[in-house]
Amino acid sequence: MSAKSLRVLSLIPPMTQLNTPYPSTAYITGFLRSRGVDAAQEDLALALVLKLFSVDGIASIRKCIDAMPARTRTALVSTFHEQFDRYACTIGPVIAFLQGRDPTIGHRIASRSFLPEGPRFASLDVYIDEDGGDPLAWAFGALGMQDRARHLATLYLNDIADVLRDAIDPRFEFVRYAESLAQSQPTFDPLADALSAPLNLVDRTLIELTLRSIEGHQPDLVLVSVPFPGSVYAAFRIAQAIKAKHPNILTALGGGFVNTELRELAEPRVFDYFDYVTLDDGERPILALLEHLRGERAQGRLVRTFVRTPEGAVRYVNLNLGESDIAFAEVGTPTWDGLPLNDYLSLLDMLNPMHRLWSDGRWNKLTVAHGCYWKKCSFCDVSLDYISRYEGVAATTLVDRIQAIIDETGQTGFHFVDEAAPPKALRTLAAELQKRNLSISWWGNIRFEKSFTPELCQELADSGCIAISGGLEVASDRLLQLMKKGVSVEQVARVTRAFTDAGILVHAYLMYGFPTQTVQDTVDALEYVRQLFEQGCIQSGFFHRFACTVHSPVGKNPEQYGVSLQPLPPVSFAKNDVGFIDPTGVDHDALGVGLKKALYNYMHGVGLEADVRSWFTGKVPRTTVARHFIQRALSHS
């Protein structure tokens, strides 16, 4: 059998994203086709949601509820059961509306009289209208009917997801599906137990969709990409279904979760489901695997691949015979061929105009460069290949890829998914887009470094940049220096304001609980954030709790950050997060509640004049930050 005759099917498992395809299969499929391989792809995450959230799907949910003793039903489940007819007649129109196929039904959705409203709609009560009118008028005004309807339709779907979770599968989530079974799990036991449990409706539906995909494509090799812990359970369920029905089909596991958490894999049971597990960029390992399958390469010459030996042990194979990774300039153009681009759902769960970009709209995902040009941040997995190996590409090549993707998809929205897009590369990209008179809309992640001058920000806006996100992390110069971020609070203020002045939305990634962070640091950081919102420097943000990982500088050299690591249990499966002991003894979980509450209000323009101490339930010290620090920093720029 020749490599070119091998059929390869790449699958996106639940759950990843619902508004746009996760790009891993598009990249590997495009690359394999450029090498003459018969490659196809399917998004089983989207397929599962569309199957469950359909007339037949919710009828199946009701059937499961009918089989439950009434005393075990939650109030939410009972209400859904009582109002089933309303859900049955609205689910189809809602899905069609969110897919953009039936925009006129938005008028009825927006009326608040069409959809049954469950507990998720209680979130609307936080928007108080003192005149007793429309509580969402501040967000959508008189002309925002479509967005208003999308927000209400998203709440409606979340209500049904809650019913599904209460009645059928307590692990079900649109994003973090059963992630606790995989995230930093030292042993395979929790996942093995879940996979051997009786099948529920979600399992049966996923198996049905998997086997339908296999029958349609007749692959010899199935690649399953797992970017997040929340897609691992479904990936194994997919492989289990394939092995049970088609034991001769080979399966391989890869993706961001594998590259991060399974680097020390020693669990033989994983290979009951997957024949191969590959690390880091998939192009070279998959080429080597295809050569092996056609008899031109021995198993001992595979690249960055785990296998199970005949004796039942796990073996890592990485015989480097001078074969370098495929250069970023040669990976080719990703393709979305085979993915149902018109079926994705534009959800609107957060009203903030920047925050919504992650779930709203169909974005072509692309990388400007491979890896991170900075690769110094002490909290980041800078030792791993996807960060540490930086490679750029000529702007002409990048815009050629953009043009090819537009020609294929007919859509001009791009999300650049780099860890941090390099300013020089963005400048040349903007110039090339302008040179070709190519009109696109794009957004992506950057570092708030001084290279982003007002002039560059305007150039990027003129090229189609609508939004950027970047890490402010803990807004404290002491901690930013400890993190090796290479920026200061003053610099962040000037850069973010330059983007805002150019008409570009700005989202700040924020962090709390970093080693040696005190309560005073936290209060001061929130004051900086308040002033950044107040001065119009940022429009959106999100607070993450710091997690120490074994691949980060903090995890590798904790003594340099004033902490000590807690011992890990013996690991045969996933290894990533590691606990640490911080001598400050701060209760960061308690502070996190106040931080997130404050940020939520700031994003809606509420509470910007309040003392930051008012967001915390316990007693905290007064901020030491000058009241007009950011304003003065901007005036001195």
Q: Residues 133-162: what's their mean pLDDT?
A: 80
pLDDT greater than 70 at residue 141: no
* Cβ 220 vs Cβ 7: under 8 Å: yes
**Cα separation, 188 vs 476, whole angstroms:** 40
For 194-242, how does the pLDDT look when each residue is reduced to its tens digit (9 = 90+)? Answer: 999 999 999 999 999 999 999 999 999 999 999 999 999 999 999 999 9
DSSP helix/strand/coil, 471? strand
Q: Is the peptide bond before 15 cis (omega within 30 degrees of 0)?
A: yes
Mean pLDDT rounded to a whole number for the chain: 94
**Cα separation, 439 vs 412, whole angstroms:** 7
Q: Say what the pLDDT of residue 3 is.
A: 45
The Cα-based distances of 193 to 187, 188, 233, 404, 438 in angstroms read 11, 9, 11, 45, 52
Name the band, by pLDDT with cuts 50, 70 and 90, for residue 124.
confident
Q: Say what the pLDDT of residue 296 is.
A: 93
pLDDT greater than 50 at residue 411: yes
Q: Say what the pLDDT of residue 636 is.
A: 79
Name the band, by pLDDT with cuts 50, 70 and 90, for residue 322.
confident
The two three-digit tokens of residue 295, written as one number? 């008899």
Q: Residues 318-337: what's their mean pLDDT?
A: 89
Contacts of 463 (CB under 8 A, 6+ apart): 429, 430, 431, 433, 434, 440, 442
**Cα separation, 171 vs 168, whole angstroms:** 9
Instruction: Let me know the angle formed at the C-alpha of 429 by 424 and 433, rounded to the nearest 5 degrees.
Output: 155
DSSP helix/strand/coil, 137? helix
Taking alpha carbons only, the member of 286, 285, 251 closest to residue 271 is 251
Q: Residues 249-272: what's their mean pLDDT?
A: 97
Percent of the chain with pLDDT over 90: 91
The structure tokens 């037949």 sit at 56
For 363-377, how does the pLDDT look when each residue is reduced to its tens digit (9 = 90+)? Answer: 999 999 999 999 999
pLDDT greater than 90 at residue 142: no
Name the band, by pLDDT with cuts 50, 70 and 90, for residue 354.
confident
3-state secondary structure 28-97: HHHHHHHCCCEEEEEEHHHHHHHHHCCHHHHHHHHHHHHCCCHHHCCHHHHHHHHCHHHHHHHHHHHHHH
Percent of the chain with pLDDT over 70: 96
pLDDT greater than 80 at residue 321: no
Half-sphere exposure of 18 (CA within 13 A, CB side): 25
**Cα separation, 404 vs 408, whole angstroms:** 6
DSSP string, 149-193: HHHHHHHHHHHHHHHHHHHT-TT--SSSTTGGGTTT-SSSHHHHH
For 586-637, how does the pLDDT look when each residue is reduced to its tens digit (9 = 90+)? Answer: 999 999 999 999 999 999 889 999 999 999 998 999 999 999 999 999 997 6
* Cβ 629 vs Cβ 532: under 8 Å: no
Instruction: Let me know the angle formed at the C-alpha of 388 by 377 and 314, rounded to the nearest 5 degrees.
Output: 115
pTM of the model: 0.94
Domains located in the chain, CATH noted: 3-45+179-330 (3.40.50.280), 51-167 (no CATH), 350-566+573-635 (3.20.20)
**Cα separation, 617 vs 102, whole angstroms:** 46
For 543-586, how does the pLDDT look when each residue is reduced to its tens digit (9 = 90+)? Answer: 999 999 999 999 999 999 999 999 999 999 999 999 999 999 99
Taking alpha carbons only, the member of 488, 469, 475 closest to residue 541 is 469
Q: Phi then psi for 381, rounded to 5 degrees?
A: -80, 60
**Cα separation, 26 vs 5, whole angstroms:** 20
Name the band, by pLDDT with cuts 50, 70 and 90, for residue 144.
confident
Name the band, by pLDDT with cuts 50, 70 and 90, for residue 125.
low
Q: Say what the pLDDT of residue 175 is.
A: 84
pLDDT greater than 80 at residue 495: yes
For 426-440, how does the pLDDT look when each residue is reduced to its tens digit (9 = 90+)? Answer: 999 999 999 999 999
Bigger pLDDT: 397 or 143?
A: 397
Q: Say what the pLDDT of residue 157 is.
A: 98
